[in-house]
Amino acid sequence: MLRVHNLSAGYGSLHVLRRLSLHVKPGEIVTIIGANGAGKSTLLRTITGLLRASSGEVLFKGEDIQRIPPEQVVFRGCSLVPEGRQVFAAMPVRENLLLGAYVQHKRGKRDEVAHDLDRVFGLFPVLRQREHQLAGTLSGGEQQMLAIGRALMARPTLIMLDEPSMGLAPLIVKDIFHIIAKIRDEGCTVLLVEQNARSALKIANRGYVLETGRIILEGDAGDLLANREIQRAYLGKDLDGENK
């Protein structure tokens, strides 16, 4: 579904990603774990074309999506939930969600929007309760749900999430990851970038470990979770977090 081949990118003379390759198969959750500054967000920004790669290619369903404008990427079925949520605070929840349905209009599937909205409300009942509230009044966790819900309104076949757990309390994180797994189970493929390695690996099928812009390990999520070197380097912190 997604094939990243030898991708390099950076800002000016600063190289962040160095010839990185990875792939995501239909129906999988693939997670990319790594410390702060490893290049996780840069990777997602480059994949979606927000940042130009200095070399390499990103094939989405066989097509190089770096050469097409970001909104076209969404149209083709690949949506990004950016880091830090970025919902429209001054707009009601419902309007925020409907914004995400914009490509469905372009696809001529206007009449499916109501159904999609229902589905999102089904996944996130709390959003239905807050349907007419301004997004800015939502809690952090609710805003994250809204951001995910908005991306789902575009009916993606691949959804990419940039640190959905960031700044959220452990219990909320648990909810969100539960829903991400559900999204996968309903047929949407997921690329999940996370610092919270343990939670991510628990729901993922496969994972890549990113360190200073390079993949240093990849494998089945369960194997990575059991890997004691990974535990030492990436999972210790989460443990403390869970115990809090």
Partner 1 sequence: MFWQQESECMDRKELEQLQLERLESTLNRVYLNVPFYLKKFDEMGFNPDDLSSLDDLGKLPFTAKSDLRENYPYGLFAFPLREVVRVHASSGTTGVSTVVGYTRNDIKTWSNLVGRVLTAGGVTADDVVQISFNYGLFTGAFGLHYGAERVGASVIPMSSGNTKRQIKIMQDFKTTALVSTPSYAMLIADTIREMNIDPNSLSLKWGLFGAEPWSDSMRRELEQKLMIKATDNYGLSEVMGPGVAGECLHQNGLHISEDHFLVEVIDPETLQPVKLGEVGEMVITTLTKEAFPMIRYRTRDLTRLMPETCPCGRTLRRMSRVMGRTDDMLIIRGVNVFPSQIEAVLFDVEGTEPHYQIVIDRKGALDDATVLVEASEKIFFDEMKKQKELIDTIKKRMASELGIAVEVKLVEKKTIERFEGKAKRVIDNRKL
Q: Say how many residues touch partner 1, by CB under 8 A.
A: 24
Q: What residues numbered 17-46 form the site for partner 1, per CB under 8 A?
A: 18-23
Q: For residue 152, which of 171, 179, 132 has the smallest C-alpha distance? A: 179
Q: For residue 46, which of 111, 2, 90, 84 has the smallest C-alpha distance? A: 2
Q: Is 139 in the site for partner 1 (CB under 8 A)?
A: no
Q: Is 223 in the site for partner 1 (CB under 8 A)?
A: yes
Q: Is 99 in the site for partner 1 (CB under 8 A)?
A: no
Q: How far is the CB of 49 from partner 1 (least distance, A)?
A: 20
Q: Is 241 in the site for partner 1 (CB under 8 A)?
A: no
Q: How far is the CB of 2 from partner 1 (least distance, A)?
A: 11
What SS3 state is found at 186?
Answer: coil
Six-digit token string for 26: 């239909």
Query: Which member of 227, 233, 234, 235 binds partner 1 (CB under 8 A)?
Result: 227
Q: For residue 145, which of 135, 155, 158, 157 has the smallest C-alpha distance? A: 135
Q: Is 219 in the site for partner 1 (CB under 8 A)?
A: yes
Cα 207 to the chain's mean position, in Å? 14
In the bound state with partner 1, the residue whose beta carbon lies nearer, of 185 and 229, is: 229
In the bound state with partner 1, the residue whose beta carbon lies nearer, of 77 and 207, is: 207
Q: How far is the CB of 6 from partner 1 (least distance, A)?
A: 5
Q: How far is the CB of 94 from partner 1 (least distance, A)?
A: 41
Query: Which member of 88, 166, 216, 241 binds partner 1 (CB under 8 A)?
Result: 216
Strand segments (E) across the chain: 2-11, 14-24, 29-34, 55-60, 63-64, 78-81, 158-162, 189-194, 206-211, 214-220
Residue 76 carries which DSSP code?
T
Kindly give, in sequence order, each residue whose CB lies less than 8 Å from that of residue 193, ignoring residues fewer than 6 positions away.
31, 32, 40, 41, 43, 44, 160, 161, 162, 163
Q: How far is the CB of 22 from partner 1 (least distance, A)?
A: 6
Binding residues (CB under 8 A) for partner 1: these are 3, 5-6, 18-23, 55, 208-209, 211, 214-219, 223, 226-229
